[in-house]
Amino acid sequence: MSSIENTAPVKSASIFTLFSPRLLPATLMLGGGVTLYAVESYITATIAPSIVRDIGGLELFSWMTTLFVAAGVLGSITVATRPKGIGLRAVYVAAALIFGVGSLACAIAPTMPVLLIGRAVQGYGSGMLSGLAYAFIRFIYPEPLWRRASTLYAAIWGVATVLGPTLGGLFAAGSAWREAFLILVPVAVLMALSGRWLLPDVADDRIDTRTPLIQIILLLAAVLFVSIAGTIEHGSYKTMLIAASIVLVATMVLIERKSEVRLLPYGAVMLSNPIARLYLTIFTMMLVLTSDIYIPYFLQTLHGVTPLVSGYLVALVALGWTIAAFFSASFSGRQAAIAIISGCILETAATASLIPFLATNTPFDTVARFAPAVITMFLMGFGVGLGWAHLVTRIIGIARRTEQDKASAAISMTQSLGGAFGAALAGVIVNGAGLTYPGGISGGLSAAMWLYALMAIPGLIAVALSLTIKPASA
């Protein structure tokens, strides 16, 4: 079996075609992999306090997320750097089993160090699954459906930001954090067994399969540093770790430009190349979006919103992303290029608009008072979803055929990097602006103002980059 793409022509470019009888099995397998990675990224953050209360290890608390993120990046890299001759289907089966083993280790962990090992294994497997979703697109779907598949993945990430914490809250409320991991084991086994039959056995068309070890080490070190920076309180340490991460990434880029063994597809580290600007647009958009992690705090501290309601309100960011992804799914050519530009402008404007709507000490006790903030949060996510699928499709479309796996894996990697750097940078900004000292109302007001003012700046970079993206040829 070579590819589903060649078995029959596509009569409709509707997103529902992804769920036609011919494509449904593969869509469920690939979408399921993205779902595991996305949802698991948020579930553990919710049940983490329960884990610490049960098995201890408070001093290692932050590593539950740090190791998962770093291992996820390594997993997505593995899709492109796997040994020659190993097909994507075999990697999918292995990834699902690895995720299952990691989940089982977390479920039975007697101590925090054992659980951290499980989280690293989990992250590695789920990172592979996420990278595979993009790597399989060109083999499973005809080109008119590439945007629809990317739209589906974007929608999954949007839904996960709501579904993950909700599911985590249910398990945490029942003191059943082990079951939250254990329930994933049979799911992973089922995915591994099904992948053998439901995914095509596509040929490995890569030419260069050498491993860019130096670049991988530098990138993983950068991810670890920036992830740690996002979890510590000391402002100067945060700044130093972020600075070190930037130096490591810059070093990786310099080596990548000169090396014959590349981690990224050709042109990805040369700003003059369109593919580099596409990746950088994804990175900056994710970096800006991550500033939403402090919205619940500002809602509760400055506006008297309850924790439950603030959680639902910030979920509007995810809702906006999902709705926009489906809204723009049918765009192509010039429409798609305009959607990317409009999305960058909208996200940037919405982020800056949070200053007058959140950086105030006004109780949100009437609809008129909180409606502007609600609309702005929705539009923040809407901007990302508007152009996301088109950015992904353009990357896959212009990458060299022999580097498609690298290009696909780099999409997940760039998304994770943007989120990690965004969380760390946001932490530096709010701490430097007084969130913890002097703290309280005055600290919250200052932190909200500076956070959304400074985080809008990378958004301006995204806007500038989007203006250089040419429409795909018909």
Shared-domain flag, residues 312 and 441: yes
Please state the rounded mean pLDDT for residues 436-463: 92
User: Which range is most confident: 78-92, 300-314, 341-355, 388-402?
Assistant: 341-355
Shared-domain flag, residues 194 and 307: no
Q: What pLDDT digit, counting tens, does each position of 247-276 carry? A: 999 999 999 998 888 899 999 999 999 999
Residue indicated by tokens 């506006």: 303
What's residue 463's pLDDT? 97
Shared-domain flag, residues 301 and 167: no
The answer as to whether 187 is a domain residue is yes
Between CA 132 and CA 404 the distance in angstroms is 11
Shared-domain flag, residues 319 and 185: no
Q: What pLDDT digit, counting tens, does each position of 147-188 carry? A: 888 888 888 877 777 777 777 777 877 678 899 899 999 999
The alpha carbon of residue 190 and the mean position of all alpha carbons in its chain are separated, in whole angstroms, by 24
Please state the rounded mean pLDDT for residues 385-398: 92
Per the CB < 8 A criterion, the answer to whether 134 and 396 are in contact is yes
Identify the CA nearest to 296 among candidates 161, 417, 98.
Answer: 161
pLDDT over 60 at 6, yes or no: no
Q: What pLDDT digit, counting tens, does each position of 201-253 carry? A: 888 878 777 889 999 999 999 988 988 887 777 767 888 998 999 999 999 99
What's residue 416's pLDDT? 85
Between CA 169 and CA 144 the distance in angstroms is 39
Q: How would residue 9 be classed by pLDDT, with cut points 50, 70 and 90?
A: very low
Report the chain's mean pLDDT, rounded to a whole number. Answer: 88
Between CA 240 and CA 253 the distance in angstroms is 20
Shared-domain flag, residues 188 and 291: no
Identify the CA nearest to 310 among candidates 325, 319, 298, 323.
Answer: 298
Percent of the chain clearing pLDDT 70 (strictly above) = 96
What's residue 8's pLDDT? 45
The answer as to whether 37 is a domain residue is yes
The answer as to whether 105 is a domain residue is yes
pLDDT over 70 at 13, yes or no: no
Shared-domain flag, residues 188 and 326: no
Q: Which of 207, 228, 244 is the last residue of a domain?
A: 207
H or E segment to which residue 256 belongs: helix 235-258
What's residue 209's pLDDT? 72
State the pTM of this model: 0.84
Shared-domain flag, residues 200 and 275: no
The answer as to whether 249 is a domain residue is no
Helix axes 274-289, 367-398, angle to 10 degrees: 160
Shared-domain flag, residues 364 and 435: yes
Shared-domain flag, residues 307 and 177: no
The helix/strand/coil state of 205 is coil
The answer as to whether 182 is a domain residue is yes
The answer as to whether 302 is a domain residue is yes
Please state the rounded mean pLDDT for residues 83-99: 93
- Exposed / middle / buried, residue 244 (Cβ in 10 Å: 0-12, 13-18, 19+): middle
Supply the range of the domain harboring residue 372: 269-469
The answer as to whether 258 is a domain residue is no
Distances (CA, A) of 330 to 176, 183, 225, 324, 335: 42, 36, 40, 11, 9
35: domain CATH number?
Answer: 1.20.1250.20
The answer as to whether 313 is a domain residue is yes
The helix/strand/coil state of 393 is helix
Shared-domain flag, residues 138 and 283: no
What's residue 4's pLDDT? 54
What's residue 3's pLDDT? 52
Shared-domain flag, residues 195 and 295: no
Shared-domain flag, residues 203 and 329: no
Domain count, the chain: 2
